[in-house]
Amino acid sequence: MKDKKGQGMKRLSLKDVAQMAGVAPSTVSFVLNGKARQMRISDELAEKVQAVVKKTGYQPHSVAVNLRTGQSKTLGLMVESISGSFFAALARVIESEADRYGYNIVYCSTENNAQKGTELIRMLNRQQVDGFLITPAAGMEKDIEQLLAHKRPVVLMDSYFPEVAVPYVLIDNYGGVRQGMKHLLGKGYSKIGFITVDMELVQIQQRFQGYRDALKEENIPFRNKQVLKISYNSPRDEAVKAIQDFITANKGVEALFFSTNYLGILGLESIAGLGLRMPDDVAVICFDDHDIFRLYPPGITVVQQPVEEIAKTAISLLMHQLDKGARVTRKSQVQIPGKFIKRGSA
Amino acid sequence: MKDKKGQGMKRLSLKDVAQMAGVAPSTVSFVLNGKARQMRISDELAEKVQAVVKKTGYQPHSVAVNLRTGQSKTLGLMVESISGSFFAALARVIESEADRYGYNIVYCSTENNAQKGTELIRMLNRQQVDGFLITPAAGMEKDIEQLLAHKRPVVLMDSYFPEVAVPYVLIDNYGGVRQGMKHLLGKGYSKIGFITVDMELVQIQQRFQGYRDALKEENIPFRNKQVLKISYNSPRDEAVKAIQDFITANKGVEALFFSTNYLGILGLESIAGLGLRMPDDVAVICFDDHDIFRLYPPGITVVQQPVEEIAKTAISLLMHQLDKGARVTRKSQVQIPGKFIKRGSA
DNA sequence: CATGCTTGCAAAATCGATTTAGCTAAAGGA
DNA sequence: TCCTTTAGCTAAATCGATTTTGCAAGCATG
C-alpha cells in the first residue's frame, strides 16, 4: 500500500523492473517471454527477475508490445446487428472463446449495410486487429476479397459468397430445411407454404432449395403461388399484411415454413391477426430459433442454430490462420447441422 | 492500383510521407495535427504535405499514436450480459455515439459475476482504455472505487452504489413503478402482487419502494405475502414453480407487477401453465420491455427503458470527464423517466 | 601462446508516431 | 558593426516494449 499515493505514480515499466533487479531491460524481456533458456540467462538471474516482477506486479504495456510486435491480440467481430438475438448470442460465445486464446474482441455492426461494412473494415484495420470475424451483408464481396488479397485472416459466419474462396462456418441451411420439411411431410401435411426474404445471400437460396427438393422427393408438385418472398426493406406492417394476404389467398394451406426468425415473428403476428390457431388451422416451423418461440403458445417448432459450435469453430479456424497462416481448403469451409426442436406449432 | 502488388507492401509511415514531400517527419506531424500555424510552417510547405497525404491516402498508425500520446481513443463497455436485450440495445447506441466522438468500444460482459468484473477491469486497463462505461454487478463497489481513486473516467449505467460518489445514468426506477402502479390502481385493482428478485442493487430496492409508496398513497395496506422475492440464481423451472405457487397462494390477486423483464418472461410461462388469461384472470405489468412483450398475446404492458437517452447521456458524461476532467456533481448523476407503454395485459 | 568457440549478459536499433530543443538565415535595434 | 529577435524548419528525445548485435570472460584447441 505504500506506493499508491500521489497522483504522479507512473506505471511501472520494464526498464524500472530491470533497474530494480539490477539487470538490462533486454534480460527482463527475455525472462518474461520464456526465452531465458534460449538466450542463456542463468537460472539465478532469471529467478531474481521473476521475484521482482512478482513483487511489483509488473504488467507489460500492451500498446508498446503491440507496436513492436505488430500483434494487437485483438480480433474484429462484425455482425449484422448486435441487437439481434442470434448475433448477441454469437458475440457472447466468441468473446469468451477468444479470451481463452488471449485475444480481445472489438465489436461492430453493419446494420446490414454494405457501405457501412466497408467503413468498419477500414476502421478495424486502423485499429490493427489481427483477424476478422464477419457475418457479411449482401454486397460485401469486394471487401472480403480485399481482405484476402492483403492476406488478412478472415472467417465468415452465417453466410458467405460462393465465388470467393474464403473460410466460413455456418449452419447446414439446406439440411436444416430438409429436417423441418421431413417432419411436416411425415405428419401428412402436403400443402406447405414457404415464406422467405428477398435477399441474395446464399443461405437464403439454400433454404429455398431445401424446400423444393423436399417436395420433389415426395412427388409433390412445386407451386410458385405457395412461395412468398418478402422484401427485406418492407416495413413491419406491410410485411404482416403481405403474409396475411398470402395465407388467405392460399386457401387450404396446411403448414407454413418461415425461412428466418424475423419472418417467423412477423408470421406469428399475421396468424394471430387472422384469428388462426396453431397447429390446427395452420402448422408453423421456423428456421432459426428465438426467445419468443419458446414462450409464444403453443411454442414454435424450429430449426435451431448451433451458436456455440459455430462460434467455437470460427475462432478455431481463425486461430489456425493466425499462427499457421493456413490456406483456404475445404476443411476451412464448415457447415454444421442445425438442431430440430419440436414444440407445439407443428 | 499501381502500388498494391507484392505481399511485402509495407504500410506507409509518416516518415515515408515526409520523404516524399521532401520535409522532416516532424513537419508532417505538425501539419496533420493542425499545428502548422503554431509551428510557423509556411502555407506553401503545408500544402505540399497535404497533397502528398491526400495522394497516398496515408493514415497514421493508431498504435504508435496511442503509445506516444497515451490516448487509446477506446472506451471499455462492460455490461451484465450482451445476450440480454436491454444490454444489446444499449451497446448498439453506445457504439454509434462513441463513434461520433472518434472513440471505439471494447466490449465485455460480467455475466453478473463481480469477480469476473474485477478481472475485466484489469484487462481493460491493460488495453489502455481511456474511459469506462459499466453496468455494475452487485459487489463491484471496490472496483469502482479503485477506478475513481486512480482518476479513471467512469460512468455507471443501469445501477449504481449510493455510497460511492460516481457519475451514473439510469431510468427513474422509483418513478417508473409509480407510473405503472398508478395505471393499475386507476383501473380499480387493489390486490396487486409484486414479484422481484433477491438482489442488493439499488434499482431493485427503488422499484420495490415505488410499489410500497404507491399502495400507501391509496391507503391500501401492504402485505408481505403479496411480495415474492426470487433468488437470482434459482433455475428456470424452480422460479416458474415459485411464481405459480405464489399466484395460487394469493387467491384473489388481481394484478402482478414484475420488477424485471426476466421475471416477466418467467411470469408469462407461469401464467400460461396455470391456464390463466390476461388481463381477465390476472393483469400484468412488467418493468423493462422485451421483444416478447410486444408479441405475446395480448401484449404485455410495460415501463420501457429509454435506452437511447441513457446511452447518449452516459457518453456525454464520459466525454466531459475525458476532456474537462470534470468532478462528480449532482449534475453527473442522472435519472431519466421511463416510458409507460400500455398493451393488452393491463 | 595465439586463436577460436561458448557462455552470459548488456547495448543499441527498432516499431511509428509526437514534441521539445536546436539551428540557420534574415530582420531589427543600438 | 555587432548583437539580439524572429521566422521556418529540422534534428533528436521520447513513449515502452522486442530483438539483433556486441562484448568480455572462460575454456578448449592446435
A151 and A40 fall within a common domain: no
Whether the pLDDT of residue A328 is over 60: the answer is yes
> Which of B132, B114, B174 is closest to B338 using CA atoms?
B174
In a domain, B327, yes or no: yes
When pLDDT is cut at 50, 70 and 90, the band that residue B130 belongs to is very high
pLDDT of residue B80: 86
Are A97 and A199 within one domain? Answer: no
> Is pLDDT above 50 for A7?
no
Instruction: Tell me what the mean pLDDT of segment B217-241 comes to.
Output: 94
- Nucleic strand C near CB of residue B295 (< 7 Å): no
Chain B residue numbers touching A92 (CB-CB < 8 A): 81-83, 109
| Pair (A195, A287) in one structural domain | yes
Determine the average pLDDT of the residues in A63-92: 89
Q: Are B79 and B192 in a shared domain? A: no
pLDDT, tens digit, for every residue of A270-290?
999 999 999 999 999 999 998
Do B184 and B281 lie in one domain? The reply is yes
Q: Is residue B213 part of a domain?
A: yes
**Residue B150 CA, nucleotide C21 C1', distance (Å):** 32
pLDDT, one tens digit per residue, over A229-258 is 999 889 999 999 999 999 999 999 999 999
Within a domain: A340: no
Mean pLDDT of the A12-26 span: 96
Question: In this predicted model, which residue has the larger pLDDT, B197 or A325?
Answer: B197
Residues 67-96 of B with CB under 7 A from strand C: 67-69
**Percent of residues, chain A, with pLDDT higher than 70:** 97
Query: Are B143 and B257 within one domain?
Result: no
Nucleotides of strand C lying closer than 7 angstroms to a protein CB: 7-12, 14-21
pLDDT (mean) for B191-220: 95
Residue A4 has pLDDT above 60, yes or no: no
The verdict on A160 and A180 lying in the same domain is no
* Cα–Cα distance list, B89 to A209, A236, B25, B314, B340 (Å): 34, 19, 44, 14, 18
Nearest to B61 by CA among B20, B100, B10, B22: B10
Same domain, A280 and A297: yes
Q: Which of residues 157-186 of B touch strand D (CB under 7 A)?
A: none
Interface check A63 vs B, CB under 8 A:
yes
Residue B7 predicted with pLDDT over 70:
no
- Hey, are the CB atoms on A109 and B123 less than 8 Å from each other? no
Residue B1 pLDDT grade (very low, low, confident, very high; cuts 50, 70, 90): very low
Instruction: Tell me, yes or no, whether A188 and A258 share the same domain.
Output: yes
Shortest Cα–Cα distance, B69 to chain A (Å): 11
User: Is B224 part of a structural domain of the chain?
Assistant: yes
In whole angstroms, D10 C1' to B27 CA is 8
The reported pLDDT for the residue numbered A245 is 97
Provide the domain limits for residue B138: 72-170+308-335
Span A110-132, mean pLDDT?
A: 91
DSSP B17-63: HHHHHTS-HHHHHHHHTT-TTTTT--HHHHHHHHHHHHHHT----HH
A292–B contact, CB cutoff 8 A: yes
Q: Is residue A106 very low, low, confident or very high in pLDDT (cuts 50, 70, 90)?
A: confident
Q: What is the structure's pLDDT at A112? A: 84
**pLDDT band, residue B4 (cuts 50/70/90):** very low
Is strand D in 7 Å reach of the CB of B126? Answer: no
Does B240 share its domain with B251?
A: yes
Q: Per the domain annotation, does B46 fall within a domain?
A: yes
pLDDT in tens, B284-316: 999 999 888 988 889 999 999 999 999 999 999
* Size of chain A in residues: 346
Q: Give domain status of residue B36, yes or no.
A: yes
Contacts of A77 in chain B (CB under 8 A): none
CA-based nearest distance A108→chain B, Å: 7
Tell me the CATH number at B107.
Answer: 3.40.50.2300
Q: How many domains does chain A have?
A: 3
Among candidates B67, B127, B269 on the partner chain, residue whose Cβ is nearest the Cβ of A295: B269
Q: Given a cut of 50, is residue A108 above it in pLDDT?
A: yes
| pLDDT surpassing 80 at residue A82 | no
Q: Is residue A9 part of a domain?
A: no
Question: What residues have CB less than 8 Å from B66, skipping those under 6 apart?
Answer: A63, B72, B73, B128
